[in-house]
Amino acid sequence: MTTTLSRAEIDALDKRHRTNFINGLTGFKGVTLLGTRSESGCSNLAIMSSAFHVGAAPPLIGLLLRPHTVPRHSLENLSARGEYTLNGVDRTMVERAHRSSARWPREVSEFDACGFTEEHTAAVDAPYVAESPIAIALTLAERHTLLNETVLIVGEVREVRLREDVRAEDGQLDLGALGLVVAVGLDEYHDTRRLTRLPYARVDDG
């Protein structure tokens, strides 16, 4: 049976219920760890489910940040330095990655607090998560403030690190083999099972 919720009914939900409900509406979300460094040099990690593809040439990735909730340190670091990493989260990393959402003090590195290992390359001045099976280094390219004061960051890809056996001839990544998870709302995690890969759709098919 289908039920319909009007906007008035949605607005009347209690705050926690509405937050969980609205967070789930757009379906499953990819999960990444945002790596940054503060001006004083402290490493920071924050779990995010708002990274999305913006374009391939130049390679651009979007990320939505909510300044009034948790990733405030991340946004400050990212704004100050303009460099960051996005690190994929696999099955083995879920519990540790979720811990990064606690309100750790500014001087605590979530790498230490959550049990991850920092890795650095010359590409950007921000830490990679060594445990992550796929990770991207980015520089801040553009920033938009949306009507509810959330901040959209668009970053340009500088470098990609990944397991070398997961890129097909045509560039497709085997995200299942990487064990990447997806999230529902703020706290539920799933892994995936491949159903199908479909050919390019044409009007004269079938």
Kindly state the smallest distance separating residue 39's Cβ from a second copy, in Å: 23
Kindly state the smallest distance separating residue 8's Cβ from a second copy, in Å: 10
Kindly state the smallest distance separating residue 75's Cβ from a second copy, in Å: 16
- The Cβ of residue 140 has, within 10 Å, a number of other Cβ atoms equal to 16
Q: Give the span between the Cα atoms of 206 and 13, in whole angstroms.
A: 46
Q: Of 16 and 41, which has the nearer Cβ to a second copy?
A: 16
Q: Of 37 and 181, which has the nearer Cβ to a second copy?
A: 181
Kindly state the smallest distance separating residue 53's Cβ from a second copy, in Å: 5
Distances (CA, A) of 134 to 44, 53, 106, 161: 18, 15, 26, 6
Kindly state the smallest distance separating residue 83's Cβ from a second copy, in Å: 13
Q: Of 80 and 172, which has the nearer Cβ to a second copy?
A: 172
Residue type, 150: T
- Is 152 within 8 Å of 64 (Cβ atoms)? yes
Q: Of 39 and 165, which has the nearer Cβ to a second copy?
A: 165
3-class DSSP state for residue 73?
A: helix
Cis before 58 (ω within 30): yes
Q: Of 76 and 173, which has the nearer Cβ to a second copy?
A: 173
Q: Give the span between the Cα atoms of 195 and 56, in whole angstroms.
A: 25
